Every structure is written in structure tokens, then in C-alpha cells.
Amino acid sequence: MTSRQAKIQEDTHFRIMRILQDNPDLTQRELAEMLGMSVGGLNYCLNALIDKGFVKMGNFQKSKNKFKYVYLLTPQGIAEKVALTSRFLKRKMEEYEALKVEIEALKNECETNQMTSMQKGKA
């Protein structure tokens, strides 16, 4: 069984790769804001994705700002994103099903409590 921390890390990597696929020219600060995380935390995650060969980083050749980088998913990164998407979707569907059960139980509990309250009020 995968640890909770590993699932969180996998979800973070999935979200980073998903955003970068559509927006490869985001700055780390912009990407961190979109994800609700610190720039340092994002940098750590991006470096892990780069080290694994899922993302490659390059700078714009014609850019006046030589610090402007582009983050591209590699073919291996695209394949990993597909696998991450599948696992992410499976986890979220399981959470959704569990929430539906919990919501139904809470509705029943509320109805029972209301009926009991009304019966006590009549007594």
C-alpha cells in the first residue's frame, strides 16, 4: 500500500505535469501560485521531475530575459503523466464513492434526529 505522503507527492507531480503540458512557459512563481505551494517546494518537485527525465528545461533562445525558461514534458514524461492521470482518477473516484456513502448516512441520521425531536415535542 502506498503511503499517504507518496500519494500527495504523486498528486503534486501529476498537477505540475498537467499544468506544464498546456503552459510550458510559466515561471516557477506563477506555477507555484497556481498550485498553492511555495516557490522552494515547487523548485524541489520540478528538479525531481527533471532528474527522473519527465521534464526538460530550456531557455528561450530569442528572449531578452535570459532567465525565462520553458518546461517541456519529455516523451517519458508524457507516458508517466498518462499513468499518473489513471491512478489519480482511480483514487478520486474511490473518494467520491466513499463520500456518497457518508453523505447518505448523514442524511439518514439527520432525518432520524428530526423524527426523534418531533416525537419528543409531541410527548
Burial class (CB within 10 angstroms; exposed 0-12, middle 13-18, buried 19+) of 77: buried
99 inside domain: no
Q: Of 65, 63, 27, 60, which is closest to residue 46 (Cα–Cα)? A: 27
Phi-psi label, residue 37: left if phi above 0, alpha if psi -120 to 50, beta otherwise: beta
61 inside domain: yes
CA quadruple 3, 77, 33, 85: dihedral positive or negative? Answer: negative
Q: In total, how many domains does the chain have?
A: 1
100 inside domain: no
- From first to last of its 123 residues, what are the pLDDT tens digits of the chain? 568 898 899 999 999 999 999 999 899 999 999 999 999 999 999 999 999 999 998 876 555 555 578 899 999 999 999 999 999 999 999 999 999 999 999 999 999 988 888 787 765
83 inside domain: yes
112 inside domain: no
103 inside domain: no
56: domain CATH number? 1.10.10.10
113 inside domain: no
Q: Give the domain range for residue 16.
A: 4-94
Long-range contacts of 47-54 (CB under 8 A, 24+ apart): 48/13, 49/13, 49/16, 49/17, 49/77, 52/80, 53/77, 54/13, 54/17, 54/80, 54/81
82/14 Cα distance (integer angstroms): 9
42 inside domain: yes
